[in-house]
Amino acid sequence: MATVEVAFTPLPAHVRTARLIATAVARRSGVDESVLDEVRLAVGEACSRAVEAHRVHCPQQPIRVALTGDGERFEVVVTDAAPAVEPVPAGAARPASDTVIDGLAVIAGLADDVRIGAAGPGTSISMSWKQRVPPA
């Protein structure tokens, strides 16, 4: 069972909330302070990606974030319900004139371990980091 579970409607404003919660739970779980920025950015990337996909395919469905610290690793799983179709059509959430930076590549550069899998109709992105100090 996850330490904390969050579900939010797919609005860009809520991505910041998800980032703040992830950072707070990571800190509480004993993730090293030097890694908290990586957790914050990676969770933000995964949630941003999910929000954009939901806004196109299923704006009524919530995005789910599960955060677990088991004493050795801190894991965050972001699960969306949108069909696993990449990329999000241009013009849907971002103007076609914008360059799309691959958020998954950013996540891969930040987390110690990343796994991407199917979750029902959608996708789950699992990211984890080593816990370097015992949880408070």
Partner 1 sequence: MDLKLGHYEKDGIEVVDVEGEIDVYTAPRLRELLIDLVNKKNYQLVVNMEKVEFLDSTGLGVLVGGLKRVRAHDGSLDLVCTQERILKIFRITGLTKVFGIHNSVDEAIAERKADR
In the bound state with partner 1, the residue whose beta carbon lies nearer, of 38 and 75, is 38
Among 32, 36, 5, 40, which residue's Cα sits nearest to residue 134?
32
Which range in 61-69, 71-79, 93-101, 119-127 contacts partner 1 by CB under 8 A?
93-101
Pairing, β 113-119 against β 122-130: antiparallel
Polymer length in residues for the chain? 136
Among 100, 99, 76, which residue's Cα sits nearest to residue 86?
100
Asked if residue 40 binds partner 1 (CB under 8 A), the reply is yes
Cβ pair 129, 73 in contact under 8 A: yes
Give how many residues touch partner 1 by CB under 8 A: 27
Q: In the range 53-82, which residues lie near partner 1 by CB under 8 A?
A: none
Among 18, 28, 106, which residue's Cα sits nearest to residue 66?
18
Residue 135's identity, in one-letter code, is: P
Among 27, 28, 73, 94, binds partner 1 (CB under 8 A): 94
Q: In the range 99-128, which residues lie near partner 1 by CB under 8 A?
A: 99-103, 105-106, 109-110
Binding site for partner 1 (CB under 8 A): 12-13, 15-16, 19, 37, 40-41, 44-45, 48, 51-52, 93-95, 97-103, 105-106, 109-110
